[in-house]
């Protein structure tokens, strides 16, 4: 019996349709049967005709998980199939021909050393995944990519209020002890939330052998290599037997070697072509445990255990160290990994990236292949860049110019050029020095990513990656061919731009056609520059931009950080400096965001072209905010979709183009163009006014008037602001505006103030870390945290210091620690907040704020990983008991409490007083914060945009088909582990839910949740929303207990991330109340809806939302027989509806009917009581 996919069963013959042009439809699918030479069952699946034999091989290897054979080829009949032969070439199909299943036979091949290493690697990789060793390397953080969802997921739905299973921690919401005398049952701590999940004891290890390594007898001697020996392995089975195994071209066999005697000859009858089959012969326990792992792996979501490749996931800011076990394979990874030759010095990154960009992209298939290769190459480049940057900061890579100061040093590692984001040669001296250079390299990466996304200019750009690590900003770039050669015959590679010290601006006319395209896309005005020699040249970019001609013949653009026009209004505020606001702002490179330029450009063109069209088509600030429903609370919309190239009247276009050099210190307007200066200044003034009087106020109104738009945390807030074209330097202005217009909205005030605090603290910590050696970073971070959270500025508690043997090598760092006090730290923090955001944080804010959410934001922005402990308010956090008090578990419970108490006492003994909330040992790790230039897929985005249009037109079936197509494109181009794939899963799951495809919505919701959790972070805003959405899908599928578990976990995360007073919790509390009501848990349901109503009255008093929740609360009161109170709530809801909708509205009439019924029932009950 062969295994078949559900969608292929009963479909042996497929009719091949002909396209309109008469060609064969290569998207038609053919059924494939793969037969194996051993007892492995026939594997059946289907693939499009355009697929290759290599694709078939990949599916076979992935389907079998731990395949017995990996070194083989396919045969069709008696003919050997080549790897990249397409399926339609094998079948020789014709139009309208019935497609019969393609039968492929697996034929075993002799091994090479590489294929033998791949065979071993495949087995070890599966064992790591199945035992949850699926994290990224330590360069990306501790437990980066871990997934909590499998620990919460339970297929059963039999948990009831009285059932003993409900005492389990996962289902504590269904435990009666969860509710009484518990004012806030969702309040928790990361320690209690993550300990059951991250504990090494929570997931038992199913080891298949005691040790596995390359033998000490490697490498193979030449005389045995001539006999076909490839590798020697040393394996100790669970039974305790040590075997030395020879990897031979014909397979694997046990040899006669020992640890002290070399004899690689074969023992009798201990041979197999497969290492897995040989180990099953040698060790019954290996076979038994392998089967257990295979069963376990098949039952769970495989993406929860698969290793993350490509994307750089968000490292958890609070975690537990992974248990370090002895494993020789970790030290031999370079020898065992068959892909190691594709990394490092053997790759020419620039050639790979430019060749991928130059691939054909006429057809859809060409575009998919091109974008997939480009994304994959840039992702690989990013990973290698991050590892190189970490090694540079830690001093493990020598510089090219060791005699220069640290900030001026350059490095070449793995064919990548590294430099520090500092003003090493004085280029930014007029703009702000190091602070300007730090900002410029980040802006350069943003512009390169935008150009990669637009893909409309033939000029090449460098592969670029920005890595912030331990207080340093490292810039990683591909190397332009010939850049390191000396000038030959007086020629230079510079063909556009000027070099520091030269007077003339070079301009190669061959660049002009592409520069015109670039200026049209970026809305840059063509302007003129007069050189020192009197020649006048046209400019289409900033003066800082440079063009180089590589030795490969390609033309490269560099230094793109100032392509967007300056924020003239903000610069004028800095120059006037009438108040303390923005005093000593760190640099002068303040520019508008591309989203704002695009929004203003479209708005102006529409107004000038047609007032009626402007009214119907103009983009207001509400439209991108409405997209937040689709984009999961502030997800970043691909910037390319925000900058389309529209064709309008040329005269109108020229009136709305910007000069990026209008305030450049080296640019002067020609005498004949003096009027242009006034026009350029006037236009930039209009953009500044548009930002401050239109965009920012509308954004504030949107998030304060509609709670569904208010982001959950600072990360989501930053994405929302950037999507609307608002720079983060306006946080202080926006906070002041909220104080003026919405002083009662404490959630918005808290959100903006926390973000200003976190960003100011990030710059403060960065300054200290940049002067700190690696072994003392934990001491500095812990002391800075303690100073910022100190109860009093006058606290003079001493910091923790390392041993004297360490201090004698770093006296400067020791002095820095001793000189840092709470007062000094707060003074520096206030200077940062006032100079960067124009807002002075009052010291009382920290005393009143949620310390945990503040530290979380600082850690995420600075790349800090803390130990999973409860640092604040231990005595205030009350958790329901994990187990009901029964005689059987009293003794175990007592022992557990004593153990926990002892651990806390040991921890507290290290903390000399309340000042020392953080110890150096609590700082586990520093991880890099990465800013890559990997573009979004325009092809996948086009399909996604088309589906959104269908959704707005309420054509859900077509929207579902387009989303499926978009999801397929996302997976092909990005792979599974990518933020955009997670968002595609989320949107498709929601559409399935609306189309009543319940099982499909639950399945997609789980995938979306797992990818969000592993890539974006276990407590990110998108992960929390994914949990709540999955709870909604499970509830609609009548799996109420699971829905409650996911809702409970999401709300606990929400309380930790933000606090208990977020207006978006109204919907969550109401949903949980309805779930509990459906389970006949009326008192608990009433409690949840009452919490929702309290939040409504706090943030949305007299709104329609308050009326709707009041009616829900009235129903809950009626079910508890409190009819008088229910009538009062219903009357309040009716009055709100009548005031906002009118008495004739259907909703008002329904509320009136409810009120009448409640009043009648109340009167009747009171009469009965009196009688």
Q: What end-to-end distance do the CA atoms of the chain give, in Å?
A: 76
C-alpha 515/C-alpha 72 separation (Å) is 52
pLDDT digits (tens, 9 = 90+) for 132-168: 555 656 678 888 888 888 877 654 433 333 333 333 3
Q: Is residue 921 part of a domain?
A: yes
pLDDT digits (tens, 9 = 90+) for 161-198: 333 333 334 445 555 445 544 456 677 778 878 877 77
C-alpha 687/C-alpha 725 separation (Å) is 11
Structural domain count of the chain:
6
898 confidence band (pLDDT: 50, 70, 90): low
Question: Does an H or E element contain 1166, and which?
Answer: helix 1146-1170
Residue of 659, 582, 585, 595 whose CA lies nearest to 436:
585
Residue that finishes a domain, picked among 725, 741, 757: 741
> Which long-range CB contacts under 8 A does 1089-1093 form with residues at least 24 apart?
1089/1113, 1089/1116, 1090/1116, 1091/1065, 1092/1065, 1092/1066, 1092/1067
Reply yes or no on whether the pLDDT at 738 is more than 90. yes
Q: Which of 522-526, 750-754, 947-951, 1158-1162 has the lowest mean pLDDT?
A: 947-951
Both 293 and 367 in one domain: the answer is no
Q: Is residue 1018 part of a domain?
A: no
Q: What is the pLDDT of residue 323?
A: 74
Q: What is the pLDDT of residue 623?
A: 39
CATH of residue 1092's domain is: 1.25.40.10
Q: Is residue 339 part of a domain?
A: no
The residue with greater pLDDT, 13 or 386, is 386
Both 754 and 727 in one domain: the answer is no
**How far, CA to CA in Å, does 671 sit from each of 526, 675, 679, 681?**
16, 9, 15, 17
Q: What is the pLDDT of residue 25?
A: 63
57 confidence band (pLDDT: 50, 70, 90): confident
Both 449 and 435 in one domain: the answer is yes
Helices of type H across 798-889: 804-807, 811-819, 822-837, 844-848, 851-862
Q: What is the pLDDT of residue 392?
A: 95
Reply yes or no on whether the pLDDT at 875 is more than 70. no
Both 399 and 446 in one domain: the answer is yes
Contacts of 979 (CB under 8 A, 6+ apart): 311, 635, 1015, 1016
Reply yes or no on whether the pLDDT at 458 is more than 70. yes
Both 382 and 521 in one domain: the answer is yes
Q: What is the pLDDT of residue 910?
A: 59
Q: Is residue 545 part of a domain?
A: yes
Asked if residue 934 lies in contact with residue 379, where contact means CB atoms within 8 angstroms, the answer is yes
Q: Residue 521 sits in which domain range?
A: 346-484+492-558
Q: Is residue 1003 part of a domain?
A: no
Q: What is the pLDDT of residue 877?
A: 38
Both 608 and 623 in one domain: the answer is yes
- How many percent of the chain have pLDDT more than 90? 32
Reply yes or no on whether the pLDDT at 447 is more than 50. yes
Q: What is the pLDDT of residue 87?
A: 82
Average pLDDT of the residues in 631-637: 39
Both 632 and 727 in one domain: the answer is yes
Tokens of 238: 């669970």
Reply yes or no on whether the pLDDT at 130 is more than 70. no
Average pLDDT of the residues in 238-258: 92
Q: Is residue 604 part of a domain?
A: yes
Q: What is the pLDDT of residue 446?
A: 93
Q: Is residue 455 part of a domain?
A: yes
Q: Which of 119-133, 400-414, 670-684 has the lowest mean pLDDT?
A: 119-133
Reply yes or no on whether the pLDDT at 247 is more than 90. yes
Q: Is residue 458 part of a domain?
A: yes
Residue that finishes a domain, picked among 741, 760, 778: 741
pLDDT digits (tens, 9 = 90+) for 1056-1100: 898 888 888 898 899 999 888 888 888 888 888 988 898 888 888
The highest-confidence range among 504-513, 602-611, 689-698, by mean pLDDT, is 689-698
Reply yes or no on whether the pLDDT at 859 is more than 60. yes
Residue of 48, 74, 49 whose CA lies nearest to 61:
74
Which letter does DSSP use for residue 3 in this model? B
Average pLDDT of the residues in 81-110: 79
Q: What is the pLDDT of residue 873?
A: 63
Residue of 604, 574, 606, 577 whose CA lies nearest to 588:
574
Q: What is the pLDDT of residue 434?
A: 92
Both 100 and 69 in one domain: the answer is yes
Both 396 and 541 in one domain: the answer is yes
Reply yes or no on whether the pLDDT at 612 is more than 60. no
Residue that finishes a domain, picked among 511, 530, 558: 558
pLDDT digits (tens, 9 = 90+) for 330-356: 777 777 776 655 444 578 999 999 999
CATH of residue 293's domain is: 3.30.2280.10
Reply yes or no on whether the pLDDT at 228 is more than 60. yes
- How many percent of the chain have pLDDT more than 70? 83
Tokens of 24: 């064969």
Both 727 and 774 in one domain: the answer is no
The mean pLDDT of the chain is 81
Average pLDDT of the residues in 307-328: 82
Both 41 and 93 in one domain: the answer is yes
Burial of 553 (0-12, 13-18, 19+ CB in 10 A): exposed
Both 537 and 597 in one domain: the answer is no
C-alpha 1035/C-alpha 1041 separation (Å) is 8
685 confidence band (pLDDT: 50, 70, 90): very high
């Amino acid at each position: 019996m062969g295994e078949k996919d559900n969608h292929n069963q009963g479909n042996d013959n497929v009719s091949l349709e002909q396209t309109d042009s008469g060609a064969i439809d290569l998207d038609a699918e053919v059924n494939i049967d793969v037969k194996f030479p051993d007892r492995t069952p026939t594997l059946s699946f289907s693939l499009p005709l355009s697929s290759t034999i290599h694709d078939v091989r990949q599916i076979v290897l992935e389907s079998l998980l731990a395949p017995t054979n990996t070194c083989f080829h396919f045969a069709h009949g008696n003919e050997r199939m080549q790897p990249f032969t397409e399926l339609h070439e094998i079948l020789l199909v014709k139009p309208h021909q019935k497609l019969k299943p393609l039968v492929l036979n697996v034929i075993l091949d002799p091994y090479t050393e590489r294929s033998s290493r791949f065979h071993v690697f495949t087995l070890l990789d599966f064992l790591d995944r199945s035992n949850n060793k699926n994290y990224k390397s330590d360069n990306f953080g501790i437990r980066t990519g871990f997934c909590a969802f499998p620990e919460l997921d339970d297929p059963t739905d039999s948990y009831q209020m009285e059932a003993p299973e409900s005492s389990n921690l996962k289902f504590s919401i269904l435990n009666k002890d969860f509710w009484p005398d518990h004012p806030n049952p969702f309040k928790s701590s990361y320690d209690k939330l993550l300990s059951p999940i991250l504990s090494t004891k929570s997931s038992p290890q199913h080891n298949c052998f005691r040790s596995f390594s390359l033998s000490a007898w490697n490498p193979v001697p030449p005389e045995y290599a001539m006999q076909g020996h490839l590798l020697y392995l040393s394996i100790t089975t669970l039974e305790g037997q040590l075997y030395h195994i020879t990897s031979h071209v014909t397979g694997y066999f046990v040899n006669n070697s020992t640890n002290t005697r070399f004899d690689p000859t074969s023992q009798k009858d201990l041979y197999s072509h497969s290492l897995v089959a040989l180990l099953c012969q040698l060790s019954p326990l290996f076979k038994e445990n392998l089967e257990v792992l295979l069963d376990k792996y098949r039952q769970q979501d495989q993406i929860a255990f698969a290793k993350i490749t490509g994307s750089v996931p968000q490292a958890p800011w609070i975690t537990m160290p992974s248990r370090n076990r002895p494993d020789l394979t970790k030290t031999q990874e370079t020898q065992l990994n068959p892909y190691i030759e594709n990394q490092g010095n053997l790759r020419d990154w620039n050639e790979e990236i430019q060749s991928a960009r130059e691939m054909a992209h006429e057809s859809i298939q060409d575009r998919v292949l091109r974008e997939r290769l480009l994304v994959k190459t840039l992702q690989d480049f990013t990973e290698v860049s991050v590892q190189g940057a970490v090694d540079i900061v830690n001093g493990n890579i020598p510089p090219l110019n060791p005699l220069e100061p640290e900030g001026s040093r350059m490095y070449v590692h793995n064919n990548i050029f590294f430099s520090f984001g500092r003003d090493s040669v004085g280029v930014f001296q007029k703009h702000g020095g190091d602070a300007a250079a730090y900002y410029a390299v980040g802006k350069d990466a943003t512009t390169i990513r935008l150009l990669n996304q637009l893909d409309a200019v033939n000029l090449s750009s460098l592969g670029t990656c920005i890595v912030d690590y331990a207080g340093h900003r490292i810039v990683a770039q591909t190397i332009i061919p010939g850049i390191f050669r000396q000038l030959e015959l007086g020629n230079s590679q510079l063909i556009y731009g000027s070099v520091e010290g030269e007077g003339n601006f070079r301009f190669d006319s061959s660049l002009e056609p592409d520069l015109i395209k670039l200026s049209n896309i970026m809305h840059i005005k063509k302007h003129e520059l007069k050189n020192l020699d009197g020649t006048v040249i046209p400019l289409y970019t900033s003066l800082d931009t440079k063009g180089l001609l590589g030795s490969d013949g390609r033309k490269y653009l560099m230094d793109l950080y100032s392509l967007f026009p300056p924020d003239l209004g903000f610069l004028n505020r800095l120059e006037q400096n009438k108040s303390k606001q923005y005093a000593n702002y760190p640099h002068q490179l303040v520019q508008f965001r591309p989203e704002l330029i695009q929004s203003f450009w479209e708005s102006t063109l529409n107004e000038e072209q047609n007032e009626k069209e402007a009214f119907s088509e103009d983009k207001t600030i509400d439209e991108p905010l409405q997209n937040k429903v689709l984009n999961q609370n502030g997800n970043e919309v691909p910037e390319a979709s925000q900058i389309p190239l529209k064709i309008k009247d040329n005269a109108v276009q020229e009136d709305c183009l910007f000069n990026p050099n209008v305030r450049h210190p080296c640019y002067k307007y020609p005498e004949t163009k003096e009027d242009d200066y006034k026009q350029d200044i006037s236009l930039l003034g209009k953009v500044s006014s548009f930002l401050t009087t239109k965009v920012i106020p509308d954004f504030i109104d949107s998030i304060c008037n509609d709670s569904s738009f208010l982001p959950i945390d600072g990360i989501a807030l930053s994405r929302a602001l950037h999507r609307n074209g608002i720079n983060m330097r306006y946080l202080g202005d926006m906070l002041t505006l909220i104080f003026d217009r919405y002083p009662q909205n404490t959630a918005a005030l808290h959100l903006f103030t926390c973000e200003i605090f976190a960003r100011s603290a990030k710059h403060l910590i960065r300054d200290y870390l940049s002067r700190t050696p690696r072994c003392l970073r934990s001491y500095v971070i812990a002391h800075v945290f303690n100073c910022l959270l100190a109860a009093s500025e006058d606290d003079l508690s001493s910091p923790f210091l390392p041993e004297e043997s360490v201090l004698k090598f770093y006296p400067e760092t020791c002095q820095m620690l001793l000189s840092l006090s709470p007062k000094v730290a707060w003074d520096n923090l206030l200077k940062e907040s006032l100079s960067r955001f124009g807002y002075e944080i009052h010291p009382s804010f920290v005393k009143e704020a949620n310390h945990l959410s503040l530290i979380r934001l600082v850690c995420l922005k600075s790349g800090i990983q803390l130990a999973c402990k409860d640092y604040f308010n231990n005595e205030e956090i009350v958790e329901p008991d994990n187990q009901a008090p029964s005689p059987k578990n009293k003794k175990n419970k007592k022992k557990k409490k004593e153990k926990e108490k002892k651990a806390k006492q040991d921890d507290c003994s290290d903390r000399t007083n309340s000042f020392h909330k953080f110890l150096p040992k609590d700082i586990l790790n520093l991880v890099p914060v990465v800013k890559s230039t990997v573009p979004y897929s325009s092809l996948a985005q086009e399909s996604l945009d088309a589906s959104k249009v269908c959704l707005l037109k309420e054509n859900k079936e077509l929207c579902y088909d387009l989303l499926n197509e978009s999801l397929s494109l996302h997976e092909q181009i990005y792979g599974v582990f990518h933020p955009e794939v997670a968002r595609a899963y989320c949107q498709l799951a929601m559409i399935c839910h609306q189309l009543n495809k319940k099982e499909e919505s639950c399945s997609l919701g789980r995938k979306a949740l797992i990818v969000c959790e592993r890539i974006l972070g276990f407590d990110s805003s998108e992960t929390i929303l994914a949990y709540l959405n999955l709870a909604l899908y499970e509830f609609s599928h009548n799996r109420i207990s699971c829905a409650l578990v996911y809702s409970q976990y999401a709300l606990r995360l929400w309380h930790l991330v933000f606090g208990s007073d977020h207006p978006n919790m109204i919907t969550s509390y109401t949903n949980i109340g309805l779930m509990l009501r459906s389970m006949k848990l009326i008192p608990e349901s009433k409690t949840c809806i009452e919490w929702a109503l309290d939040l409504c009255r706090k943030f949305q008093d007299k709104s329609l939302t308050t009326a709707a929740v009041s009616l829900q609360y009235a129903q809950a009161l009626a079910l508890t027989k409190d009819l008088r109170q229910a009538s009062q709530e219903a009357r309040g809801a009716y009055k709100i509806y009548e005031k906002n909708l009118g008495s004739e509205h259907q909703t008002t009439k329904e509320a009136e009917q409810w009120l009448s019924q409640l009043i009648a029932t109340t009167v009747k009950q009171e009469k009965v009581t009196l009688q």
